[in-house]
Structure 1
Amino acid sequence: MILRGDDAGAIAQAAEALARGELIGLPTETVYGLGADAASDAAVAGVYAAKNRPADHPLIVHVTGADRVGEFAHDVPDFAARLIDAFWPGPLTLILPRRPDRAAAAAGGQDSIGLRCPSHPVAQAILQAAWARGVHGVAAPSANRFGRVSPTTAAHVADELGPELLVIDGGPCEVGIESTIIDCTRGVPVLLRPGLLPAAALEAAAGERLRGPGDPGLAEAAAPRASGTLASHYAPQAKVVLMEAPQLQAALDALTPDRPAPAVYARTPCRVAPGTVVQQLAMPRSAADAAHDLFAVLRALDATGVPEIWIERPPADAEWDGVRDRLQRAAA
């Protein structure tokens, strides 16, 4: 059931469902989430079951603001506090030391927890209404089957998880890919998943250089598990193949009538031989626009039933890191 996010009654209905331990679909600026009361192990178990997600793969807990961090985390380092000041509300998740008495199931059993404060007004309205009903944080991974393409509209959620789920419609997601994730449990900021936020801006706000998960001097054994960091993720049913523009054109030139045609998503215009029907969509030149469109495009092309989706590899520029990360995982 899809309800309008600009309806106060729908917001109240969603908050009451969360307080009863039920699941809801809710919009954020990144993607739509499958929400549950983060403090309820039974509700969180419902999220894992609905997504067919491994129970040790942690969820991100959404809170109303910086003043709610202490509900779930302790010993917040100074650089993390600076990141919160700079980018919350917004598409940034921080992995922080978890309070031992909070949200163990949502954290996948780890002693750390991922926290985010979404900027979407409908998400904020739901979180505020839920708080008033005793729900102090909403665990909300993307509202799709585990490993599949994330939803960026309410209709995507209903198509993925069924019409019985209460989904609050906040319109198409503004960002379109999941949040940046920074691990703040190892004394320095460690980038676990790129998103829309530029690394240079994150470093400027943190006052520290961002590390990578495999950087020398970081104890790999201490690295927390985090959402969306598996090698294979965000994948449609069709096989995703990444190619440079010349390789993509050569593959199109080599198509024969007896081979099922792929779909193509590319920034560079491609030629197709006469008589060959290939569905093509143009990738935006802007990284932000490409991020906004990415998951909707993958879903639309997948819906045509093509066996493969050939995608021009994004530029190596830092602003494309989030899009490139999602496509590499989709093609893994």
Structure 2
Amino acid sequence: MSPVLDCRDADQLLPALRQARQAIGRGELIVMPTDTVYGVAADAFNASAVARLLAAKGRGRQSPPPVLVSGPDTMRALVAEVPGAVDRLVERFWPGGLTIVLPAQPSLRWDLGETRGTVAVRMPNDKFALELLEDTGPLAVSSANLTGKPAALEIEAAIQMLRDSVSVYLDGGLVDTGVASTIIDATGLVGRDSRPVTVLREGAVSRSDLREVLGDLLEPDPVDPDESDAA
């Protein structure tokens, strides 16, 4: 049985960070709390570790994991360009539940799966997660569950699904929100062929909140079928 360490216990906090850091360094998987749901994490720059993460969840390379970062400066090192609109989004919603897809920095040597030259980045609003990210650097992180199953909101659910595929489980208690991050595609803001920002998954950040920052740079809201035939 893989060890379970309580991040809320002051006596276990430093050992938890140390064991998690060592596991990541060995190319192994950990489960960690975030501000949205529990995540299963691997070194973003270790291709075999990322492949192990996808296999543990029962996913293929066509579903690459997002990358959690400790702050905007790390994001800038991972992406090719940060448009002004993305800067405004980061200022408003980070740390928090907004994942932003941008063109990846082409000089980076990593393999997250079939990303088509992009990377999805987020800064979580969780003290322990941020402290760990400061130690490990960027982590490939996906929800700690088997594909098709509900995301884990407490450590026991993650353990039941992922079992010994994970080397270290970090227990932060019941997740407060349990709402996955909103994912947006901002790649259209980079380059000459300007396209609006699209919402790939609605979650913790609403469309109306995004609209306050982006205005017309956000795709039009979907039409309610009950209203489309209205006079």
Contact 1:36–1:43 (CA<8 Å) still a contact in 2? Answer: yes
Contiguous gaps of at least 5 residues in structure 2: 190-195, 227-231
CA contact (8 A) 2:97 2:204 kept: yes
Equivalent residue for 1:10, pick from 16, 24, 40? 16
User: CA contact under 8 A between 2:102 and 2:187: conserved in structure 1?
Assistant: yes
Letter in 2 for 1:53: R
Segments of 5+ residues of structure 1 without an aligned counterpart are 131-135, 216-315, 317-332
User: Given the superposition, is the C-alpha separation of residues 123 and 103 from structure 1 closer, same or farther in structure 2, using an over 3 Å criterion?
Assistant: farther
Indicate conservation of the 8 Å contact 1:183/1:191, yes or no. Answer: yes
Answering whether residue 63 of structure 2 is matched by residue 63 of structure 1, we say no
Alpha-carbon distance in 2 for matches of 1:194, 1:171: 25
Q: In 2, are the aligned partners of 1:79 and 1:189 still within 8 Å (CA)?
A: no
Q: Look up the match of 1:196.
A: 204
Of structures 1 and 2, the one scoring higher in RCO (CA 8 A, sep 6+) is 2
Q: Residue 144 of structure 1 aligns to a residue in which SS? A: coil
Aligned residue in 1 for 2:161: 160
- The equivalent residue for 2:112 is 106
TM-score scaled by structure 2?
A: 0.85
Query: Post-superposition, which runs of at least 4 consecutive aligned residues in structure 1 deviate over 3 A?
Result: 212-215
Partner of residue 121 from structure 1, selected from 127, 139, 144? 127
Offset at residue 31 of structure 1 (A): 0.7
Structure of larger gyration radius: 1
Q: Is the alpha carbon distance of 1:2 and 1:192 closer, same or farther for their aligned partners in structure 2, counting shifts above 3 Å?
A: same
2:80 matches 1:74: yes
Q: Secondary structure at the match of 2:20?
A: helix
Whether the 8 Å contact between 1:32 and 1:173 is mirrored in structure 2 is yes
Paired-residue identity, %? 33
User: Counterpart of 2:145?
Assistant: 144
Shift of 1:197: 1.5
Contact map agreement 1:3 1:167 (CA 8 A) in 2 = yes
Q: CA RMSD in A?
A: 2.1
Counterparts of 1:94 and 1:208, CA distance in 2: 17
The alpha carbon displacement at 1:178 in A equals: 1.1
1:109 Cα deviation from its structure 2 partner: 3.8
